[in-house]
Amino acid sequence: MFDFNLMHIVAGIPGLLIAMVIHEYAHAQVAVWLGDFTPRLMGRLTLNPKAHVDPIGMLMLFLVHFGWAKPVMINPRNFKNPKRDDILVSLAGPAANFITAFLALLALLIYSRIGGDMTAGVYLVFQMIIEYNIGFGIFNLIPLPPLDGSHVLMQLLPRDMAYKLAGLERYSFLILIVLLMTPVLSMILIPCRALIWHIFSLLLSPFF
């Protein structure tokens, strides 16, 4: 799981930055579209990595291919339909990661189809963009506060259960460390990765 090969380190940097920036920008943009201008006022409606990158989250993403960025603050009271719109904003980040991964894969396949001569380094960069975006999207769907999956689940649960789930946030980092040190997280995430790749294959099969 831990790969400190210099080429992988260098090639992985674009994938890391793209995964984080695209994810948080999508949260910000969808929130603004739905009527909450808080992300714009806080300078998050930008593709500048400085606005989105969390150093610890980036390190975790680099080490184990799962991590986080600075969360985009929103005010659900500005939404016309707070419950629905909060779910849409929460799902926007992971969805943007999966779309980015798919587009990077599509670009690789098209380039290969037209007989382009791609160096091993460039191919590895695209591979890392795909891998990190899939990993970032899946990780953030875990229903553990403050990850996106928990926001979705809290909107669907009864109020008392949602309140209890929100209370787990103070222990989230410790829970995450335990999950990373045991096979539990892999048992969840590996099938999810396989599912995403299967969906990609189905989408691309009519053309390649």
Active site residues: 24
Long-range contacts made by residues 139-145, C-beta under 8 angstroms, separation at least 24?
A: 139/66, 139/67, 139/68, 139/189, 140/23, 140/68, 140/93, 140/94, 140/97, 141/94, 141/192, 142/188, 144/168, 144/172, 144/175, 144/176, 145/169, 145/172
- Residue 61 and residue 136: Cα distance in Å, rounded? 7
Q: How many whole angstroms separate alpha carbon 56 and alpha carbon 49?
A: 14
CA 80, 81, 83, 84 torsion: positive or negative? Answer: negative
CA dist., res. 172 & res. 139, Å (int): 13
DSSP string, 151-185: HHHHHHS-HHHHHHHHGGGGGHHHHHHHHHTSTHH
Residues 82/111, Cβ–Cβ less than 8 Å: no
Structure tokens at 15: 């994938």
